[in-house]
Chain A
Amino acid sequence: MLVVVCVKQVPDTTQVQIDPVTNTLIREGVPFIVNPYDTHAVEEGLRFKDRFGFKVVAISMGPPNAEATLRKALALGVDRAVLLSDRVFGGADTLATSNVLAAAIKKLGEEEEVGVVICGKQTIDGDTAQVGPGIATRLNLAQLTLVDRVDELEPAAKKIKVSRKLEGRHEHVEAPLPVLLTVVRELNRPRYPTVAMRLDSADAKVELWDNSVLGLDVNTIGLKGSPTWVSRIFSPERAKGEMLGDGARDPEGAAQLLVDKMLEKDLLAL
C-alpha cells in the first residue's frame, strides 16, 4: 500500500520583510523551507512505513527549485519523490492546485493502491488550509482534517481511527481507507536525517512530471483554472501610537501616565 505525502516549499515567512518605500514583499535572500506542517506529514508517513511496510511517496507542485524540498524528504527515508512542475501549473489557486495534486496521486494509484494521503494542516505562505479538502474531494476519499493523533490503523480491515483537534474539543473518529489526513504540530516530532541518508539523497532521483504526464485540461490548472485571483497586495496599516514617559528611568511615572490615559479614554471598568 502507498502513503502519499504532499509537501510544499515555502518562503520562511518569519524572515520576510516589507520594503518601506515600495510597500512590497522583499523576497530576495529569504530562504525557502519545507512548510513546517508538512514535516509532520512526512514523519507520520514514515511511521506508517516503519510499522506496516507501506511505501511512502512525497509529491510537490512548484517551480524546479522545489526539488530541494523533496530531497529533504528523501533524506528522511521517503521511498520516492515526484516534482510536479510545468509552466502551465503556475499561478494556481487552491482549486487548481488540488487538481494537479489529485491527478498525480491518481496516477501513482494506478501502480499501487494508495491507502493514505497526508497533507499539512495549512501552509505558512498561502495559509488557506484548502488544498487537503480539495484533494480529498477530487479523489473521493474520506477526509479527516486537523489530526493530532493516530489511534489505530488496520491495513487489513482498511480502517483508521484518529483524534482531531478542534476549538475547545477533540473528536475521535473512524473512517475507512483510503483516507486523506491533514495534520497538526502536536501529532508527532519529526526525525532528523542521518548523515548517511543525507549523502544518499544527494544523488537520489527526484522524478519530474509535467503536464504531458498528467494530461490535464489546461483550462482546469494554473492561472486559467483558478477562479480566484489577487487584485491587490498591500502591507497592513500600522498607526504608530503614543509613547508614555520614560519607563526605563521612571517606571512609576510611566505607570501613572498609563493610568491617567486609561481614565481619560474611559477604558477602566473598576
Chain B
Amino acid sequence: EEAALREKLAAYRGVWVFVEQTEGEAAKVSWELLGKGKELAAARNCPLSAVVMGDQVEHLCKQAMGYGAETVYLMDAPVLRHYRTEAYQKSLCALVEKYKPEVILMGATGLGRDLAGVVATVLATGLTADCTGLSIDKGNLMQTRPAFGGNIMATIVCDKFRPQMSTVRPHVMPMPEFDASLKGEIVREPVPVAEDEVQVKVLDILMDKGGSKVDIAGAEFIISGGRGMMAKENFALLQELADVLGGVVGASRSAVDAGWMPQDRQVGQTGKTVRPKVYIACGISGAIQHLVGMQDSDVVIAINRDPEAPIFEVASYGIVGDLFQVIPALTAKLKALKTARSGA
C-alpha cells in the first residue's frame, strides 16, 4: 500500500502558479507566487511553471518568465476572455491531468478562490486557503494559515493526494525582482471548452469608482485610523500626516462601518492585506481581524491611549497617549524636518 501511494505521488512533478489576469493585466499576487514558487521548486528540485489563460494574453508569458517561470502553459481563446468558472475550470483541470504538477498556487482573490475550490473538488484533492507560509518537508508542502479569525495558525498537509493546492492572499509573499533576461519555454495548449458549453454570461464589468482610487495595498506608508478618531473630519489629521510621509490613509472596520472612510480603505480580514514599509495605527485597538491584515508590515507604529491595547503587541514602536495631541506634534516635526532638508 505504501509503495502504491509513493508511486501515485511520484507521478506528479513540478510547481505551478496560476497567473490571474483581467483585461490582459496580471494580478500582482501571481508574480509574488512565482517568487515563492521558485523557492519551493528549488527545495523539490523540480521545474517552476506558470499557467496563463485568457484571450490575447501571450504578452503575460514573457512577464511570467521574467519572474522566474521556466515553462509557461498558455491557453489563449475568446471563450476565456472573461473569467467564468466553468470555462477556466475545465481548461485548468485538463492541463493538470495532462502534465500532473505536484503543487498549484493561486491568489486568494475573489477569482482565485472561486476557481481553486472548484478545481480541487473536480480533482478530488486537498486545498488550503489563505496560506501565509509555504515550505517543503519530507517532500510535502507544509501550508501554514491563520484560522479562527487569525487567533491561531495551523499548518496543513495534504500528503496522500496530488496536486497539493494552496491559495495565498495578495501582499503576503514578497514581490520578486523582474529580470528581463530570464528565458523560458511557451507551451501552447488547445482550450477544451466551446462557448455554447458555458452557462454563465458576463453582462458587464464596472470598475469601482470610490472617488479616491487609492490603492492602500500598494502604498509604502499607511496611516490608519480606527474608532478612536471619533469623527469623519478628524481623518484630515491622518491625511496631513500621510501627505508629509508620502503615504495613504487606511482604516479599521469600525471606522468604515461608521461611514468615516470608504470600504476600499479597510485593512484586515474582511478588508485588504497590506505589508507597507511603515504602518501607523491611530486609535485602533488591534482586534485580531485587524492584525491579520497588517502584521506583516516591515515596521508597525501604534498610537493609542490605552496601554493595554493589543495593537501594542504587534507594534515595533508604540506611543501611549492621546492621538489628537501626538499626531499633530508628529506631523509638525516631520514637516519642519522636510523643510530643513529641502532647504539644505
Chain A interface (Cβ < 8 Å from any Cβ of B): 11, 13-14, 16-18, 25, 93-95, 98, 124-134, 136-138, 142-146, 161, 164-176, 185, 226-236, 238-248, 251-252, 254-256, 258-259, 261-262, 265, 267-270
Contact = CB atoms under 8 A, between A and B. Distances in A.
Contact of B301 (A11, A98, A239, A258): A258
Given A25-B152, A128-B117, A270-B334, 8 more contacts: A133-B117, A161-B203, A169-B205, A176-B199, A235-B153, A241-B315, A243-B312, A254-B326
Contact of B341 (A142, A228, A270): A270
Interface string B193-206: 00000011111111
Please provide the 4 A-B residue pairs with the shortest distance between their CB atoms, ordered closest to farther: A247-B321, A133-B117, A227-B126, A13-B149
A167 B113 CA distance: 12
B246 A269 contact: yes
Contacts of A226: 126
Contacts of B236: none
Interface of B: 22, 85-86, 89, 109-111, 113-114, 116-118, 120-122, 124-130, 142, 146-158, 160-161, 199-208, 220, 244-246, 264, 269-270, 277-278, 287-289, 291, 295, 299-301, 303, 305, 312-322, 325-326, 329-330, 333-334, 337-338, 341
Q: Which residue, of B22, B114, B130, B287, has the highest number of chain A Cβ atoms within 10 A? A: B114
B101 to A, nearest CB: 16
A134 B125 contact: no
A17 B287 CA distance: 11
B319 A254 contact: yes
Contact of B118 (A14, A133, A239): A133
Q: What does DSSP make chain A's interface, helix, strand, loop or mixed?
A: mixed
Nearest to A174: B201
A230 B317 contact: no
B124 A256 contact: no
A68 B120 CA distance: 32
Nearest to A13: B149
A235 B288 CA distance: 12
A259 B334 contact: yes
Contacts of A93: 126
Contacts of A269: 220, 245-246
A132 B114 CA distance: 9
A243 B312 CA distance: 8
B110 A127 contact: no
A125 B130 CA distance: 13
Given A14-B289, A174-B203, A251-B325, A238 B317 contact: no
Nearest to A249: B321
Given A227-B161, A240-B313, A95 B120 contact: yes
B321 A248 contact: yes
A124 B295 CA distance: 19
Contacts of A136: 85, 118
